[in-house]
Amino acid sequence: MSEKQKQSTALVWFTKDLRVRDNHSLLKALKENQKAIAVYCFDPRNFSNTKYGFKKTEKFRAKFLIETVKNLRKNLQNYNITLLVFHERPEFIFSEIIQKHNITSIYCQKEWTSEEISVLRKVKQVSPNCNFIETYDQFLFHPTDIPFSSFSEIPEVFTNFRKKVEDKAEVRNCVDYPEIQPANNLLESHTEIPNLSDLGLEEFEVDIRSAFPFKGGEDAAEERLQEYFWETQNLKNYKQTRNGLLGSEYSSKLSAWLANGSISPRFIYEEVKRFEREIVANESTYWLVFELLWRDYFKYVSLKHGSKIFQLKGISNKSLDWNNNSDILKIWIEGKTKAPFVNANMKEIAATGFMSNRGRQNVNSFWAKELLQDWRIGTAYFESMLIDYDVHSNWGNWMYNSGVGNDPRDRKFNIQKQAEQYDPQGEYQETWLQDF
């Protein structure tokens, strides 16, 4: 480390990497600089209305995010690192922070979708003398470790991708926790974390029927993993139960913490491998890693295809006859269609911000392939409502199930048969369709 670096102050710009454990940006910043401060911005653009008429972030994910940022601030403080929090566009406040604290380098998680790139470009414009260190930190398999020479070589079929990656690539080890910094590194300045009202959203109580009655934050994420893997050992049965519809135990429910980065996929992987060594290795333990690989795959699809994932023709470039009927949209959102199974799922997401994987596939297929409505409208509604929204997984899955993505068979779900198979006693539908 040079003398200049030793005297430098770094800024860690938290976005979708809201954790201390296995955080490359945080660790790099502390290793390469004398000290570091951290910043998180509740960007008002993320709480405004989209062109499809929905709030970009509704109350469920917003509450989960607020809880996450509170927990991140507490955990960083344990290392004598200050987290400054602003309800403002990053490009409006970075210049002042840089000048006030003599920032020389900015460390952040690397993003590549259009809105995130636009924000980064604006921040760079107001930070002309800063060095930006961007790190791919949201993958299970790092982009430089997969067996493809460029993103253009990523296969269009998941199975082909999976087989090559499983055969040729290895998951990197988690990085260490940072060292505790000198106490005088803590700043005295205090910034307020906004509440739901500040973000233009309404306070609410968690619905008692919710399959996701969990809090945001790294601590809650690791508590959930501890419970699901080690206390109940439900991981042993994951493959058999993952298509469940009711309760909190049929799947790992780690998706929301993964989406905002309060737990890393590499840490989950390490815990699966430890479980396999200490308890059992079976189809279920493999299947949880398999699902993490699906998550990676949709990220690689967006790296390969860029903004095509947001366009009507999708990545398949298919010209299909799509409609945009506001009355049909209202019926679908309110759970008043001809399909009770779809209706139950739509009522669940409206009341809780969560829907099972099985429900999502059916609801998506019904919207795009039976109602023949513009698939992007359904995707945007999910973006607004889902507590575990991830841009790559949400848009990738919606393309896949709408016939404009990576499904080589272009499946259409038989909703009635799906309901009979996965809700044979009608218990799920009764739970959500009854007056409450």
The predicted-structure confidence for 136-191, as pLDDT tens digits, reads as follows 999 999 999 999 999 999 999 999 999 999 999 999 999 989 999 998 778 877 89
157: its two tokens: 């079929």
On whether the CB atoms of residues 163 and 297 are closer than 8 A, the answer is: no
Do the domains spanning 218-306 and 311-433 agree at the CATH topology level?
no
- State which fold the 3-137 domain adopts: Rossmann fold (3.40.50)
Region 311-433: CATH code: 1.10.579.10
Distances (CA, A) of 225 to 5, 188, 210, 237, 241: 38, 35, 19, 15, 16
Q: Residue 101 and residue 46: Cα distance in Å, rounded?
A: 27
User: Where do the structural domains in the chain lie, given as residue ranges?
Assistant: 3-137, 218-306, 311-433
pLDDT at 385 over 50: yes
pLDDT band at 1 (very low <50, low <70, confident <90, very high): very low
pLDDT, one tens digit per residue, over 388-432 is 999 999 999 999 999 999 888 888 999 999 999 999 999 999 999
Query: pLDDT tens for residues 276-312?
Result: 999 999 999 999 999 999 999 999 999 999 999 999 9
Could you give the CA distance from residue 23 to residue 30 in angstroms, rounded to a whole number? 11
Q: What is the pLDDT of residue 190?
A: 81
Residue 279 contacts residue 233 (beta carbons within 8 Å): yes
The CA distance from 291 to 304, in Å, is: 20
Q: Does domain 218-306 have CATH number 1.25.40.80?
A: yes
pLDDT of residue 429: 98
Q: Is 368 exposed, middle or buried (0-12, 13-18, 19+ CB in 10 A)?
A: buried
Q: Is the pLDDT of residue 207 over 80?
A: yes
Location of structure tokens 């670096």: 5
Work out the angle at residue 92's Cα, subtended by the Cα atoms of residues 87 and 98, and round it to the nearest 5 degrees.
105
* pLDDT above 90 coverage of the chain, percent: 94
pLDDT at residue 3, rounded to an integer: 45
With 80 as the cut, is the pLDDT of residue 255 above it?
Answer: yes
Closest CA to 415 of 355, 382, 371: 371
Least confident of 119-123, 196-200, 411-415: 411-415
